[in-house]
Amino acid sequence: MTDTPAAHPTDPFDAEALNAAEGLHPVDPAYAKVLRIATALNLIPLAIGASVFDALLIRHIEGPYGLITALAWLIAIVTIVSFPSRRVSRWGYKIGEGQLRVARGWLFRTDTIVPFVRVQHIDVGQGPIERWFGLSHLIVHTSGTHNSTVTLPGLPSDLAAAMRETIRRHIQTDFA
């Protein structure tokens, strides 16, 4: 696309560029919705708890009433709205050449490669929220103590099943 293929993307915060530069496929954008709902389920009770705490305690001791409530809801809403899509765009994967490659994170980026021959067994999992959006996650188990499981979330269910079949075939044929 560009005449000078830079080793690093010009904008280090542009996740598309990051994945593309490393030759990775992005996960399904719908996974952002899954993450968003999961985050909301975690944070909204916390924010409600903070509001109750604020109303019951801070008002009694005549502290700065409302400050904690406002902050809690602000943080919760910002986290729910902006973080999931960013996190999702940092995930990338590539399947092929007898190996599965999974990369995640930006601040602390981890790029894992598991050769198919090293796979012990494979799980395809689906939680209730993922099911609404037709997504699954693939879990690959290796016998290493570090990285004993490598998880790749945000795959359309049929793709996850297809990937499982691909890896399974390699386990059988490449057995040495």
Partner 1 sequence: MSDAAPPDAAIAAPGDESGWQRLHPATLALAVVALGPKSLNALPAVAALGFTGNWIWIVPAIGAFLLISLLAAWFQWLRFRFLVGDDEVVIESGVFARQHRTIPFDRIQDVSIEQGLIARAFGIAKVGFETGAGGKENDAALNAIALDAAQALRTTIRAHRSGEAAAVVAADAPDVAPAPDDRLLFAMAPGRLLTAGLFNFSLAALAVVGAAMQFFDGLLPFDFNIFNPVDWIDIAEDQGLDQWLLAHRWIAGIGAALSLLLIGFVSGIATMFFANWGFRLTREPRALRRTRGLTTRTDVALPVKRVQAAILVTGWFRRRFGWHELRLQSLASDGEKERDHQVVPFGKLAEIDPVLGEIAIARPGAEAAWQHSHRIVALGGLIGAVGASAGGIVAVSFGQPLGWLGPVAGLLIGAGSLFGARFHRWTDLGEQVAIRRGIWKPKTTLLPHASVQSIDLKSDFILRPLGLATLVFGVPGGSSLASHEIPAIPLGAAHDLRTRILAARARR
Q: Which is nearer to partner 1, 62 or 175 (CB)?
A: 175
SS3 22: coil
Site string for partner 1, 122-161 (x = CB under 8 A): xxxxxxx------------xxxxxxxxxx-----------
Q: Which is nearer to partner 1, 88 or 114 (CB)?
A: 114
Q: Which is nearer to partner 1, 49 or 125 (CB)?
A: 125
Task: Using only the alpha carbons of the chain, give its radius of gyration.
Answer: 21
Q: Which of residues 30-89 bind partner 1 (CB under 8 A)?
A: none
How far is residue 40's CA from residue 76's CA, in Å, rounded to a whole number? 8
Strand partners, 99: 96, 115
Residue 172 as a binder of partner 1 (CB under 8 A): the answer is yes
**The tokens of 50 are what?**
């903070």
- Write down the least CB distance from residue 56 to partner 1, Å: 25
Q: Which is nearer to partner 1, 68 or 92 (CB)?
A: 92
C-alpha to C-alpha distances, 66 to 27, 75, 109, nearest whole angstrom:
40, 14, 38
Site string for partner 1, 89-128 (x = CB under 8 A): ----------x-------xxxxxxxxx-xxxxxxxxxxxx
Letter for the amino acid at 32? Answer: A
C-alpha to C-alpha distances, 89 to 20, 93, 129, 149, nearest whole angstrom:
11, 11, 19, 21
Site residues, partner 1 (CB under 8 A): 99, 107-115, 117-128, 141-150, 164, 168, 171-172, 175-176
